[in-house]
Every structure is written in C-alpha cells, then in structure tokens.
Amino acid sequence: MPLFTPLLLPNGVTIPNRIAKAAMEENMADSDHAPSAALLRLYQAWADGEAGLILTGNVMVDARAMTGPGGVVLEDEAHLDRFKAWAQVGRSRGAQVWMQINHPGRQMPAALGQQTVAPSPVALNLGAQSNRFAMPKAMSEDDIEDVKNRFVATALLAERAGFTGVQIHAAHGYLLSQFLSPLSNHRQDAWGGSLHNRARLLLNVVQAVRAAVAPDFAVSVKLNSADFQRGGFSPDDARAVVQMLAPLGVDLVELSGGSYEAPAMMGTSRDERTLAREAYFLEFARDIVAVAAMPLMVTGGIRRAEVAQQVLDSGVAMVGIATALALEPALPRQWRAGQTTVPMLLHPITWKNKGLAAAAHMGAVKYQLTRLSQQRPPRPGVSPVWALLVSQVSAMWGARAYRQWMQGRRVR
C-alpha cells in the first residue's frame, strides 16, 4: 500500500495519506494554559510538511492533573478562540487534525503541588528519582465518573474548536493505562481484577465520547502494545482490548508501549534482540492486525521511507512519525516528491539509568520543537546533558508558574 494512498476511516472520513505526525509533548502553553503563538508556529511547520494526519501533544482534561508544566488544558470554553486558531493552522494544508486528550493519574510531577490520583495507591518506582512523583490517592466512584465526564467534555470542546477528531490516551502509563495494568491497578471492585474490569474505564470513556460527538468526528485510542514490565499489561492483553474496542465505533488504534517506569516509547529499554531499530512496535502490531476491526497505526523510531512502506506492507494502515518530524517537519512532502530524505539521529544516549536517559531524550526532542517554533533549524547534535539541563530548568520555572496559576484560580 503506497504511503500516499488515502485511508478511509470507519466513520466515512478520508485521511489524505498514510503518514501521521504522532504526538510529542511540547509544553508550550501560554500563561492561560491555552495554545501559545509559539505552538501555532510549530504546527504550521508540520501542516506545511503535508502529513495526512496531525496528532497534537497531549491536552489535559483537568487543570489539576498535568503531565508537566506548560501543558495545554481544555476543560471549558474560556479560551476556545485559541484552540480554534490551533485547529485552523493544523488543517491549513488539508490534514486531519486530532487532539490527543489525556489525564496523567499518578504520573504528575510532585513539583506541581497537586493531589495525584490513580486506580490504587501505588507509587511510581523510579529508583532514586521516585520522589519526583507523589503517592497517589485511590480514586472513588465519583472520581472515576468525573474523569469520564471530563474526557467527554474535552472531546466536545475539541469538536467545537474545529479539530476533526480526538485520540484518547490509554498508553505510556497515564491514567487509563494505569487502570489497564495489574501492576498499578490493585482494585477488588468492578474497576479491577479481570482484564475486562481493568479495561472498563477506557471502554466507558470511548463509548461516552463516541455517543457525544458527531458521527464524522474521529474517535481514536492510543494503546500500549505492552508495558515492558514483568506482570504488567501484555501483548495478549492488548489484543483482547483491541477486540473489546471493535464494537464501540473506534476509527483508529495507535500502538505504542512503555511508561515512565519502563520508557520503551523513547527506545531506551526495548530488547534489541527481538525489536527492530526502526518501527520497534511493529512486531507486536503484526499480531494485533489479525484481530483488529479498525485501522491500526504504529509509531516508534520510523525515519526512512522504505521502513514506513514496510510497516504498511505488514497490514498496518498508518505510519506514525514523531522524532523524525521534530528534525525534518517537511519529511512527508519530501518523500512524496521522490526525495530519499533521512533525518539525522539525535545524539545517542547510552546512560545506564534508563529513566534519566529517557528524560534526556525527551529534553533533546523538546529542544528541537522549541527551535522549530522559533522558525530556526533543528540541532540534532545537541548534547543530551545540555538538553536535559535546559529541560529541567524550564520545568522548574514552569512548575512555579503553574502553582501560581492554580492559586489564582482558587482565589477567583
């Protein structure tokens, strides 16, 4: 299946080609935690690159629950005009633009000063860095219902703003993924125990969002192919959850993997004996393609056109590209023109501490995103140490600004 063949979704909408700009966490919100001018410039670069699908970095459904400082929040219509501008920029060259909507659960930095919640009171195990995240409070029935309603409200607001779909984030160890994993979900009620119970919140969210939005508004899910932790969410679990999603009107499932504890999505903890250097979640996707009733998308390490084509040839419908588009946002347009562009690799990170290595990798990616937002060329050779330092200083100031913002909301 050629890369530039359109994809017809189950809801009847067509994505113009098979390349997706996958989500990356930008942390570029303005002082109201709405899309900033810098964020819009960044998305203009990706729109001009002509990917068929553009997925935003995660947008939070609750201002009290952030993956980090500088995150975008959409929980009411106060700044809907800025979201409309974001959607307009993303769609300016014909792409479908979907908002990734998310709740971090226990994966919220303690420096933000908020109470974290999770299915069970199980702390993150990050070794010496575990104190960066607080012990979460187990969610009550009311908390669970509130989260479901917030996903629905944010999806409806995204639709009003002009986005053409949403991606419900149930991967990478965030809240919906925490419910799915037996390592973080120790509940003995209807929300824990069996896989069906652990998947209940995700299924309820998907069903409620699908019922609330228009039929031609895409509803997609990002799901771990595996947690890459012994006793965690497994490839067999992923297959079963994809089958559970089939009757709910899901238009696309993106397969990824890992969490903060095992950051496979950064490529730092995957098993090099069994997973390819590029398309490193494809091995798992091949098994799921056989049971999936909806199109699948695979993201993770893809940077060459021939590898992207191999992904499609395996039966996967969409190719998700993240880091490579932080280094060359025009990659889809160049490939369509017959160019064999291969973005440079970031400086290799071989540190033994996988958590720190993942943070440095994320810092290096954010460094490129910042440069693109300033309309400057990327610098793939940036030192991981420098990128991590810049990221940590930015996070420190961002956390302070967020706490002040939250204090102002309480005063009002």
**Which pLDDT band holds residue 276 (cuts at 50, 70, 90)?**
very low
Number of H helices, E strands in the chain: 13, 14
**Which pLDDT band holds residue 226 (cuts at 50, 70, 90)?**
confident
- Residue pair 319/351 in contact by the 8 Å Cβ criterion: no
Q: What is the mean pLDDT of the chain?
A: 92
Kindly list the distances between the CA atom of residue 302 and the CA atoms of 105, 228, 331, in Å, as whole numbers in the listed order: 29, 20, 11
What is the three-class DSSP state of 223? Answer: strand
Rg (CA), the chain: 19
Residue 272 has pLDDT above 50, yes or no: no
pLDDT (0 to 100) of residue 260? 83
Residue 286 has pLDDT above 90, yes or no: no
pLDDT (0 to 100) of residue 283? 76
**Which pLDDT band holds residue 189 (cuts at 50, 70, 90)?**
very high
Residue type, 237: D
HSE, CB side, 13 Å, CA atoms: give it for residue 271.
8
pLDDT (0 to 100) of residue 221? 98
pLDDT (0 to 100) of residue 278? 60
Q: Kindly report, residue by residue over 330-377, the tens digit of the pLDDT.
A: 999 999 999 999 999 998 888 888 778 888 999 999 999 999 999 999
Residue 412 has pLDDT above 70, yes or no: no
Q: Kindly report, residue by residue over 108-165, the tens digit of the pLDDT.
A: 999 999 999 999 999 998 888 888 999 999 999 999 999 999 999 999 999 999 999 9
Taking the C-alpha atoms of residue 187 and residue 191, their distance in angstroms, rounded to an integer, is: 6
Residue 267 has pLDDT above 50, yes or no: no
Taking the C-alpha atoms of residue 402 and residue 320, their distance in angstroms, rounded to an integer, is: 31
**Which pLDDT band holds residue 273 (cuts at 50, 70, 90)?**
very low
pLDDT (0 to 100) of residue 265? 55
- Residue pair 221/202 in contact by the 8 Å Cβ criterion: yes
Residue 22 has pLDDT above 90, yes or no: yes
Mean pLDDT of 217-227: 91
Mean pLDDT of 171-188: 96
Q: What is the DSSP code (8-state) at residue 348?
A: P
pLDDT (0 to 100) of residue 256? 86
Q: Kindly report, residue by residue over 235-262, the tens digit of the pLDDT.
A: 899 999 999 999 999 999 999 877 888 6
Residue type, 34: A
pLDDT (0 to 100) of residue 275? 34
Neighbours of 1 (CB within 10 A): 14
Residue 25 has pLDDT above 70, yes or no: yes
- The 3-state secondary structure of 309-329 reads HHHHHCCCCEEEECHHHHHCC
pLDDT (0 to 100) of residue 269? 36
Architecture per CATH, domain 7-340, reads as: Alpha-Beta Barrel (3.20)
Residue 16 has pLDDT above 80, yes or no: yes
Domain ranges of the chain: 7-340
Q: Kindly report, residue by residue over 44-90, the tens digit of the pLDDT.
A: 999 999 999 999 999 999 999 999 999 999 999 999 999 999 999 99
- Residue pair 288/224 in contact by the 8 Å Cβ criterion: no
Neighbours of 351 (CB within 10 A): 16
Mean pLDDT of 210-220: 98
Mean pLDDT of 400-404: 97
Residue 411 has pLDDT above 80, yes or no: no
pLDDT (0 to 100) of residue 352? 85
